[in-house]
Chains A and B, each alone.
Chain A
Amino acid sequence: MAESDNIVVETAEKIFADLADPQTINNDRKDSWQAPLWQALSEAGLPLSWVPDDLGGSGASLADGFALLNAAGRFAVAVPLAETMLAGWLLAQAKITSPEGEMTVLPASPKDRITLDADGAVSGRARGVPFAKAAKHFAVLAHGKDGVSIALVDAANARIETGLNVGYDHSDTVTLDKVQPVTIKPAKGFDQTNLMLMGGVARSLQIAGALESMLDISVRYSNERVAFEKKISKFQAVQHNLARLAGESAAALAAATSAADAIANAKAFDDEVYLEAASAKIRCAEAAEKGGAIAHQVHGAIGFTMEHILHRYSLRALAWRDDFGSESHWAVELGKLVANRGADELWPLVASR
């Protein structure tokens, strides 16, 4: 666990440890853990971490919020904490006050577009929207003829087709058909790519957190499980697999925290932030695939059962790859950026921080 002097993270970790123990959640078939957890998180002001005081939030720094998301990933919590944080952050970009309760953002895919009509209504379809079913409000980024606007939309006015991602969390299709927002304001200098990069970094921190936990429980399991009359941790092949898992976990965490640090300290979403954020999403998604496979390999068949907690981390890490642009999407975009800047500008870009 991070030896943190970060009060936001400490508060969150205490709540998670008390109310979101993975084993308890895993055995709870009625999801009766969700309401008390959300209530505790809300009372601590965590879902609106990134919303300034004057807009209804708790005004934590970007850095603290990112660290909180990493901690949430370590517990792989299935409540819309990251989504509400992102929504609050997006609304704050246009100085819109955040309401209470669960929120999510749309679009959640770089390919989807929400449009703003001349009469101020928003329309469009957004796929793969995490926790749309649980949200009371949506923070919506919409394209009008005068540029980008940000809107607060009541979820009751949207059509929601429910779906589940690979990690069994809601990933829904939201259709807005000439919906009048609660509030809408232009967002000068902001664009959809910024939202996707921010969402991608949030997911990267969660993936890194899930990998930290996968490493932890895999190491523990290998020190308990006996096969061929030895603890499996004593087999060199198992040790080397776990060393690779440690490498993937470390790489994911390094990429994600570096990108978070870049966003927290940058004045704008420039090329350096783009490199950091896109790289984090690409590398963390790759780590989720490689690392998750190793964690399951170490656990043998037991890790493949619903009874074991491993899937809570491994499947979610795999699912999170798809939100806010998959690694394939960002790899193509980053490759285009690099090619467009030219061969001799590649190293200066990489070595810019």
Chain B
Amino acid sequence: MTAALRFDPIRLPEKCEQLRKEVRAFLAEEIAAGTFDPHKPNREDADAPEFSRRVGAKGWLGMTWPKKYGGQERSFLERYVVTEEMRVANAPTRRFFVADRQSGPVLLKYAPEHIKMDILPRICRGEICFAIGMSEPNSGSDLFAAKTRATKTDGGYLINGTKIWTSSAHIADYMIAIFRTSPPTKENRRHGLTQFLVKMKQPGIKVNPIGQITGQYEFNEVVFTDFFVPDDHVLGEVDGAWKQATSELAYERSGPERFLETYYVLTELVRAVGPNPDTRSAEGIGRLVAQLHTMRRMSVSVAGMLQAGKEPVVEASIVKDIGTVWEQQLPHRVRDLAAFVEETATNRETLERQLDFAIKTAPKLTIQGGTTEVLRGIIARGLGLR
């Protein structure tokens, strides 16, 4: 039967609750000091380098990594708590989040020792920002269609081609990217891709901004022209990146950031309806809270699987599928219910401003980190349908 799809009801251990208090206190101080406004998700938070450093100083970056690389050797569950508290508070995490979630673990697994010693402690201190170079023009969700070439040359590779939809490339210090080192084989179209560590802000890389429908700027096109990457920046197996890239994506799919991106509109709705809601508002809020609670329990459960050393690829895909569809629908459900909010609600303007932004954010949520269609394909594979 469907034994693979159990989400055991794990509870966060006591030390997570202590940590949660510390994170909340820290964020309250930052808000009081004016670092960010939790009611304004629609800001450019790329330029919060000092906040990154303060988070690093708290020991909340690279939390699960070995101490010799600057990590804390703490659990996935502790990291989970930090992530969800940051997200719920709308903290400016963009500068460090990708490195903490994804790039660091890739380096830990595949980079040579001297590179680990150089880069990982700087991630942990919140000093550097990473981007992920996967999509290309005309490849998108089809990772294996990537064409950007890495041609072997003396002491390294020359890169030519274009990556696209690359979040934060304009502020990133490094990018972990996949490039084509040889053509796909007939037997395996996934063959021929290699993962590289790319040092940004060097000649041969041009970063072109792409505006988003939210009015923000986060995406980029990144053009490589005879860009040199040294041999020791190859990550893992030459021509074998497809295995690495897919396991990397599992980190990206089940975390609290995959259902909390528009959460703020729900809080703001609860504030607007006040302590004695009408029946329609109460029912709407109750359903949304039940759905949120269930997804979070599933997501915590997957964090527990990761902590136990499992590779919950299908489970992570299910959490992301349900989670991103939910966070996409949330602004629209809140909008329905906001029609019944009294004109006199003190936060009415804030709610409307947030809804405007969340509705514009929503279309991307089921695309980033793997489209819904790709995820459902992975789940179908897990069910033995393909």
Q: Which A residues form the contact surface with B (CB < 8 A)?
A: 1-3, 74, 212-213, 215-216, 219, 222-223, 233-234, 236, 238-240, 242-244, 246-247, 249-251, 253-255, 257-258, 260-262, 265, 275-276, 278-280, 282-283, 286, 327-328, 330-336, 338-340, 342-344, 346-347, 350-351, 353
Expressed in whole angstroms, the Cα–Cα distance for A294 and B277 within the complex equals 34
In the assembled complex, the CB of B240 is this many whole angstroms from the nearest CB of chain A, namely 27
Q: Are A351 and B279 in contact (CB under 8 A)?
A: no
Contact with A along B51-95 (1 / 0, CB 8 A): 000000000000000000000000000000000110010000000
Q: Are A340 and B9 in contact (CB under 8 A)?
A: no
Q: Which of B7, B283, B290, B293 contacts A250 (CB 8 A)?
A: B7
Nearest CB to that of B260 among chain A residues?
Answer: A347
Residues of B within 8 A of A347 (CB): 88, 263, 267
New A-B pairs, 14, CB < 8 Å, besides A243-B376, A347-B263: A234-B386, A242-B385, A243-B380, A278-B290, A283-B290, A327-B287, A330-B290, A331-B287, A339-B275, A339-B282, A343-B267, A347-B267, A351-B84, A353-B12
Q: Are B286 and A333 in contact (CB under 8 A)?
A: yes
Interface stretch of the complex, out of B105-113, B114-122, B177-185, B294-302: B294-302
Contact with A along B1-15 (1 / 0, CB 8 A): 111011111011000
Expressed in whole angstroms, the Cα–Cα distance for A2 and B6 within the complex equals 8
In the assembled complex, the CB of B81 is this many whole angstroms from the nearest CB of chain A, namely 8
Residues of A within 8 A of B287 (CB): 282, 286, 327, 331, 335
The 8 A-B residue pairs whose C-beta atoms are closest, nearest first, are A335-B282, A331-B286, A335-B286, A239-B380, A343-B271, A334-B286, A243-B379, A243-B376
Q: Which B residues form the contact surface with A (CB < 8 A)?
A: 1-3, 5-9, 11-12, 20, 84-85, 88, 263, 266-268, 270-271, 273-277, 279, 281-287, 289-298, 301, 315, 318, 321-322, 373, 375-377, 379-380, 382-386
Residues of B within 8 A of A260 (CB): 9
Residues of B within 8 A of A350 (CB): 289, 292-293, 296
Q: Are B274 and A339 in contact (CB under 8 A)?
A: yes
Q: Are B5 and A249 in contact (CB under 8 A)?
A: yes
Q: Are B273 and A216 in contact (CB under 8 A)?
A: no
Residues of B within 8 A of A282 (CB): 286-287, 290-291
Could you show 9 A-B contacts with beta carbons less than 8 Å apart? A213-B1, A239-B385, A246-B2, A257-B7, A280-B290, A335-B283, A335-B284, A339-B270, A346-B289
Expressed in whole angstroms, the Cα–Cα distance for A244 and B376 within the complex equals 7
Q: Are A339 and B276 in contact (CB under 8 A)?
A: yes
Residues of B within 8 A of A253 (CB): 5-7
Q: Which of A223, A243, A251 contacts B294 (CB 8 A)?
A: A251
Nearest CB to that of B380 among chain A residues?
Answer: A239
In the assembled complex, the CB of A298 is this many whole angstroms from the nearest CB of chain B, namely 11
Q: Are B271 and A3 in contact (CB under 8 A)?
A: no
Expressed in whole angstroms, the Cα–Cα distance for A327 and B287 within the complex equals 8
In the assembled complex, the CB of A90 is this many whole angstroms from the nearest CB of chain B, namely 24
Q: Are B1 and A216 in contact (CB under 8 A)?
A: yes
**A250 with B315: in contact, given A243-B321, A335-B284 (CB under 8 Å)?**
yes
Expressed in whole angstroms, the Cα–Cα distance for A166 and B267 within the complex equals 37
Expressed in whole angstroms, the Cα–Cα distance for A219 and B166 within the complex equals 37
Q: Are B11 and A353 in contact (CB under 8 A)?
A: yes
Residues of B within 8 A of A275 (CB): 289, 293
Expressed in whole angstroms, the Cα–Cα distance for A238 and B383 within the complex equals 12
Expressed in whole angstroms, the Cα–Cα distance for A219 and B1 within the complex equals 10
Interface centre among B85, B88, B285, B289 (most CB of A within 10 A): B289
Expressed in whole angstroms, the Cα–Cα distance for A258 and B11 within the complex equals 9
Interface centre among A3, A243, A265, A282 (most CB of B within 10 A): A243
Nearest CB to that of A327 among chain B residues?
Answer: B287
In the assembled complex, the CB of A203 is this many whole angstroms from the nearest CB of chain B, namely 15
Q: Are A334 and B289 in contact (CB under 8 A)?
A: yes
Interface centre among B294, B296, B318, B375 (most CB of A within 10 A): B294
Q: Are A261 and B9 in contact (CB under 8 A)?
A: yes
Expressed in whole angstroms, the Cα–Cα distance for A347 and B89 within the complex equals 10
Q: Are A257 and B9 in contact (CB under 8 A)?
A: yes
In the assembled complex, the CB of A207 is this many whole angstroms from the nearest CB of chain B, namely 13
Residues of B within 8 A of A212 (CB): 1-2, 5
Residues of B within 8 A of A246 (CB): 2, 5, 318, 379, 382-383
